[in-house]
Every structure is written in structure tokens, then in C-alpha cells.
């Protein structure tokens, strides 16, 4: 049967429902229908479920991703004298890696046009974290975005309406039709936005564990394979690294608190070892894939140099100022961010080693404090969350401080303390810790 753009939505849905491979025209017709409304919400939901159930071949995923990417504006970076490179994480709790990474790679000579997401469910959003900073504008015009990338080397902004608009509609329907976890849909959603940004190189941080979208290593590897094969098939050099999300990354979770930890990291005041390992691995992959470094040893030397000299911190501060924030963010971060009304200790409920953390529960506790959303239009309280979180494997006595909660009032602080304690389990013996980097 030949499929044309005149084909009815229900016919395209039927083909996929019955496990047939959709050709390029059928896929383009679906993506056009997402943008022009010729596919109704119920038809989009049915199509998402058909893809969820039947999967997609690599060719289908490449065509689907390209059609979504071309559903809006595609950026071009002609006239730039260095590689255009970005990283994307599948999301987790306390994942503030983008900030350090973008500043480091830019300080080493790359251009990093990072288009980031909002928080979703228990995972924090990069754009929300930046909005903790007074005056910071995560939605500049595209021309302004390009100008800042050219002048500073990096700009981190929120998704704009004219980049991959097909994904915006599909994403909102996936969220309410239980089709979020489909590998073809995740692949096309992530890559359509990243490829529309006109990248030369993309590095993916695929999180695995109880605080990640992918709970098992097998699922994480399947997603990594899918993203790498589709991105390379669509002409963007891509590498994926699988990293751990069985505990909060770094020592903080919450918007302003994570920005404060970012400043401590960039200035060298505090570099939580697991966080540093992830930043180094991803930065190194970005530098090697763009040929800004010829091997891992050289990449690590360059990373250390821009951190030690303060150049990475300076680049980050210039980006904050260029997007409307203060000029002295690195020096005085809290002058432009709001502190929570109540900051109080979370104390261990028993003796022993901290053996496990229900990371998703900690993320949901931050949402419960007001630091995330349960509906897309909700406002976020940027001041709340947890900091000084002890990592797994630390031995504590009952009553010792294992974290601090930042809350708007005592009641919500008490609730969050109880939730945090319920998310931890202890052991008498030193536990076996998950690796930071899996592959």
C-alpha cells in the first residue's frame, strides 16, 4: 500500500497498531498533524500508544526524529570559529552537571548552546534552577541567544516555542497517556530539540537507578543505543555515558541551593567527588569528540586548568550577566537568590552506615516543599530543598546531622524531614556502593 500525505490519521495509526513499519511519508504526515492540529488529541494519544506497544525500527526513529526536528526552526551557526557542542541528561535528583560542564567546555574553546527543560515529576529542571537568580531570562529571542553564545561561548536557555514544536504537543499528551517510557518516543523527543539546535557534537548522560527514568542497566543501555544510532544516523556525532542515579548527585537538591553548590564547585570551595567524576567524564567526552582534546589525559589537564585558573567560573558569571542576572554572581550568589524561611537539620534516626536512598522519594519531597511542579503551569518556590546531604556509605550515629532541609514554614520542614528519613535505609556493615560511571 502506498502511503501519501493525504492518508487519514486513523490509517496511519492502524498501520503502527498492527506492527507495520511506517515509511517517511506516513511519519511526516503524523508530525505535520501534531503541528497543524489535523491529528486530534485522542488520535495523538492512540498513535503514541501504538508506538509504545509496537516500537520502531532505526530507520523509523531517524525519520521520526528528523521530521520533528524540522517541524520548526533549525538553528545555524555559520561563522563560528569553534565546534558547536552540547550535552543532555535524562534527568535525576540534584543533577546540576549542565552548569559546570557548559562553563568548562566553553572555557576550553567550545561553543555550548544549551536548550534545557523544566522540571518533570520528581526530576529538577535546569531552566527552573537558573530562574532562582533574580533577573535571569531563560527565554531570550533566538538572535539574542546566538549573540550570547558567540560572545560568551555559552548560553543556557529554556525550550522556545519555535524549536521542535511537534515535540511540545506530543510530550504533553505522552505525559497524560502513560506513554512517557517508550524508547522511540524518548529518543525522538530528546534529539528533535537537540538537533534543531544545529549541533556538531552531542554527549548524552543516561541516568540509571531508582531516581532515574531508566531503573535498570539493560533499559539504560537500550536507550543509549537508540539515541546514539539515531543521532549519528541524523548526522550528529553522538556519544552516550551511563551514570548513577541511586542517590542525590552532589550534596544538594532544590533550585537555588543547587545554584549555590554550582558556585562552590566552580570556585573549588566544594567539589563533591561523585559529582566531579560525572562532570569530568562528560566534559572529557565533549572535548575529545570535538577534537578540542586528543585523548583523555589531555582532556583532564584542560578541565583542571580552566577550573584551577577560575576561567570556567568567569565564563559562567559572564553568561549569567548576559542573560539578565547580576554581574557578581560567583562572588555573592545569595545576593540575587532568596533563602528559605526555615533551614533546619535532618538527623539520623539510627546508628549504622547509610546503605540505600530512595532517590525518587527525595525528589518528590522537594516537589512537596514547593520546589517542583505537579501541574505544568505551577509556580516554583526556588528557595526550598535539601543541602549538606551525606552520601551512601557514610557511618553515622543516631542524632547526627545527615542533611539540612530548606522550607517555607516549620510544618513543611517537619514533613520533609520525615520523608527524607523514610527514604534512607541503614546497615550494620559497610554497604557495596553502586559505580558512579557504568559505561
What's the CATH code of the domain at 391?
A: 3.90.1170.30
Which CATH number is 135's domain given? Answer: 3.40.1030.10
Beta-carbon neighbour count of residue 255 at 10 Å? 30
Assess contact for 96 and 337: CB atoms under 8 A: no
Beta-carbon neighbour count of residue 291 at 10 Å? 10
Give the DSSP H or E segment for 404.
Answer: strand 401-407
Task: State yes or no: is 174 an active-site residue.
Answer: yes
Task: State yes or no: is 194 an active-site residue.
Answer: yes
Q: Are 329 and 378 part of one and the same domain? A: no
Task: State yes or no: is 126 an active-site residue.
Answer: yes
What is the structure's pLDDT at 121? 65
Question: 4 falls in which pLDDT band (50, 70, 90)?
Answer: very low
Assess contact for 104 and 276: CB atoms under 8 A: no
Inform me whether the pLDDT recorded for 2 exceeds 50: no
- Could you tell me if residue 243 is inside a domain? yes
What is the structure's pLDDT at 379? 85
Task: Return d(Cα 364, Cα 371) in angstroms, integer.
Answer: 9
Residue 59 CA to its chain's centroid (Å): 26
Percent of the chain residues past pLDDT 90, beyond the cut? 85
Which of 314, 333, 352 marks a domain boundary? 333
Which of 333, 358, 373 marks a domain boundary? 333
- The pTM for the full model equals 0.91
Structure confidence by residue, pLDDT tens digits, 163-172: 899 998 998 8
Inform me whether the pLDDT recorded for 349 exceeds 80: yes
Query: Which listed residue (65, 98, 123, 126) is catalytic?
Result: 126
Kindly tell me the burial class for residue 377, based on how many C-beta atoms sit within 10 Å of its own C-beta (0-12, 13-18, 19 or more): exposed
What is the structure's pLDDT at 171? 85
What is the structure's pLDDT at 376? 65
Q: Are 156 and 203 part of one and the same domain? A: yes
Kind of pairing between the strands at 395-396 and 424-427? unpaired
- Could you tell me if residue 225 is inside a domain? yes
Supply 145's cell numbers. Answer: 541567544
- Could you tell me if residue 71 is inside a domain? no
Q: Are 148 and 202 part of one and the same domain? A: yes
Structure confidence by residue, pLDDT tens digits, 307-331: 999 999 999 999 999 999 999 999 9
Nearest to 87 by CA among 112, 120, 66: 112
Q: Are 395 and 265 part of one and the same domain? A: no
Q: Are 397 and 272 part of one and the same domain? A: no
The DSSP call for residue 371 is I
Q: Are 111 and 153 part of one and the same domain? A: yes
Structure confidence by residue, pLDDT tens digits, 68-89: 999 999 999 998 999 999 999 9
Report how many domains make up the chain. Answer: 3
Task: Give residue for cell 485522542.
Answer: 42
Which of 296, 312, 333 marks a domain boundary? 333
Task: Return d(Cα 199, Cα 166) in angstroms, integer.
Answer: 19
The DSSP call for residue 208 is E
Supply 433's cell numbers. Answer: 556502593
Query: Which listed residue (86, 95, 244, 381) is catalytic?
Result: 86
What is the structure's pLDDT at 319? 98
Inform me whether the pLDDT recorded for 3 exceeds 60: no
What mean pLDDT is predicted for residues 270-291? 97
Question: 5 falls in which pLDDT band (50, 70, 90)?
Answer: very low
Q: Are 45 and 173 part of one and the same domain? A: no
What mean pLDDT is predicted for residues 140-161? 93
Percent of the chain residues past pLDDT 70, beyond the cut? 97
What mean pLDDT is predicted for residues 249-258? 96
Give the DSSP H or E segment for 426.
Answer: strand 424-427
Which CATH number is 16's domain given? Answer: 1.20.970.10
Extended beta strands in 111-193, E state: 112-116, 154-158
- Could you tell me if residue 74 is inside a domain? no
Assess contact for 68 and 188: CB atoms under 8 A: yes
- Could you tell me if residue 62 is inside a domain? no
Q: Are 150 and 272 part of one and the same domain? A: yes
Inform me whether the pLDDT recorded for 357 exceeds 80: yes
- Could you tell me if residue 66 is inside a domain? no
Task: Give residue for cell 542576572.
Answer: 325
What is the structure's pLDDT at 282? 98
- Could you tell me if residue 432 is inside a domain? no
Query: 34-43, long-range: CB within 8 Å, 24+ apart, which pairs?
Result: 34/71, 34/165, 34/166, 34/169, 34/170, 35/71, 35/72, 35/165, 35/166, 35/169, 38/9, 39/9, 40/9, 41/173, 43/9, 43/10, 43/13
Which residues constitute the domain of residue 215?
A: 85-333
Q: Are 137 and 118 part of one and the same domain? A: yes
Query: Which listed residue (174, 271, 274, 302) is catalytic?
Result: 174
Inform me whether the pLDDT recorded for 117 exceeds 90: no
Of 49-58, 130-139, 188-197, 245-254, the range with the lowest mean pLDDT is 188-197
What mean pLDDT is predicted for residues 187-212? 93
Task: State yes or no: is 308 an active-site residue.
Answer: no
Q: Are 286 and 182 part of one and the same domain? A: yes
Q: Are 207 and 306 part of one and the same domain? A: yes
Query: Which listed residue (16, 28, 66, 87) is catalytic?
Result: 87
The DSSP call for residue 335 is G
Task: State yes or no: is 87 an active-site residue.
Answer: yes
Query: Which listed residue (16, 61, 71, 89) is catalytic?
Result: 89
Question: 120 falls in which pLDDT band (50, 70, 90)?
Answer: low
Q: Half-sphere exposure (CA, 13 Å, Cβ side) for 5?
A: 6
Inform me whether the pLDDT recorded for 122 exceeds 80: no
Query: Which listed residue (88, 118, 146, 207) is catalytic?
Result: 88
Query: Which listed residue (193, 207, 302, 382) is catalytic?
Result: 193
Residues 6+ apart with CB under 8 A from 106: 112, 152, 153, 154, 312, 315
Inform me whether the pLDDT recorded for 261 exceeds 60: yes
Inform me whether the pLDDT recorded for 228 exceeds 80: yes
Residues in the chain: 439
Q: Are 282 and 390 part of one and the same domain? A: no
Assess contact for 9 and 33: CB atoms under 8 A: yes
Listed in sequence order, the DSSP H helices in 70-131 are 97-107, 126-130
**CA-derived radius of gyration, the chain:** 22
Query: Which listed residue (90, 189, 251, 336) is catalytic?
Result: 189
- Could you tell me if residue 284 is inside a domain? yes
Amino acid at each position: 500500500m502506498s502511503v501519501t500525505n493525504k492518508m487519514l490519521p486513523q490509517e496511519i495509526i492502524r498501520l503502527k497498531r498492527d506492527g507495520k513499519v511506517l515509511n517517511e511519508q506516513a511519519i511526516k504526515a503524523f508530525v505535520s498533524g501534531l503541528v497543524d492540529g489535523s491529528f486530534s488529541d485522542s488520535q495523538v494519544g492512540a498513535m503514541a500508544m501504538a508506538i509504545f506497544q509496537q516500537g520502531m525500527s532505526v530507520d523509523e526513529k531517524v525519520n521520526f526524529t528528523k521530521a520533528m526536528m524540522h517541524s520548526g526552526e533549525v538553528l545555524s551557526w555559520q561563522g563560528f570559529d569553534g565546534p558547536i557542542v552540547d550535552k543532555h541528561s535524562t534527568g535525576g535528583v540534584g543533577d546540576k552537571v549542565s552548569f559546570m560542564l557548559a562553563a568548562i567546555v566553553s572555557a576550553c574553546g567550545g561553543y555550548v548552546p544549551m536548550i534545557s527543560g523544566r522540571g518533570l515529576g520528581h526530576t529538577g529542571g535546569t531552566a527552573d534552577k537558573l530562574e532562582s537568580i533574580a533577573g535571569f531570562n531563560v527565554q531570550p529571542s533566538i538572535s539574542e541567544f546566538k549573540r550570547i553564545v558567540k560572545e560568551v561561548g555559552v548560553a543556557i536557555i529554556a525550550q522556545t516555542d519555535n524549536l521542535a514544536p511537534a515535540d511540545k504537543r506530543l510530550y504533553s499528551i505522552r505525559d497524560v497517556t502513560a506513554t512517557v517510557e517508550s524508547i522511540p518516543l524518548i529518543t525522538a523527543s530528546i534529539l528533535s530539540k537537540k538537533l534543531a539546535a544545529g549541533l556538531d557534537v552531542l554527549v548524552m548522560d543516561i541516568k540509571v537507578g531508582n531516581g532515574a527514568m531508566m531503573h535498570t542497566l539493560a533499559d539504560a543501555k537500550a536507550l543509549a543505543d537508540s539515541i546514539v544510532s539515531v543521532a549519528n544516523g541524523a548526522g550528529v556525532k553522538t556519544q552516550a555515558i551511563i551514570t548513577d542515579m541511586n542517590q542525590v548527585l552532589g550534596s544538594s537538591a532544590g533550585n537555588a541551593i543547587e545554584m549555590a553548590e554550582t558556585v562552590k564547585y566552580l570556585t573549588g570551595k566544594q567539589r563533591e567527588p561523585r559529582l566531579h567524576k560525572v562532570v569530568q567524564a562528560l566534559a572529557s567526552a565533549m572535548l575529545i569528540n570535538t577534537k578540542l582534546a586528543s585523548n583523555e589525559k589531555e582532556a583532564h589537564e584542560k578541565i583542571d586548568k580552566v577550573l584551577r585558573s577560575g576561567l570556567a567560573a568567569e565564563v559562567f558569571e559572564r553568561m549569567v550577566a548576559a542573560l539578565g542576572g547580576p554581574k557578581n554572581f560567583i562572588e555573592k550568589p545569595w545576593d540575587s537568590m532568596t533563602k528559605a524561611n526555615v533551614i533546619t537539620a535532618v538527623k539520623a534516626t539510627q546508628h549504622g552506615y547509610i546503605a540505600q536512598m530512595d532517590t525518587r522519594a527525595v525528589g518528590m519531597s522537594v516537589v512537596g516543599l514547593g520546589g517542583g511542579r505537579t501541574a505544568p503551569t505551577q509556580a516554583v518556590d526556588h528557595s526550598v530543598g535539601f543541602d549538606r546531604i551525606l552520601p551512601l556509605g557514610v557511618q553515622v550515629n543516631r542524632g547526627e546531622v545527615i542533611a539540612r532541609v530548606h522550607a517555607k514554614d516549620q510544618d513543611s520542614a517537619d514533613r520533609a524531614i520525615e520523608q527524607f528519613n523514610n527514604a534512607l535505609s541503614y546497615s550494620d556493615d559497610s554497604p557495596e556502593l553502586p559505580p558512579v560511571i557504568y559505561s
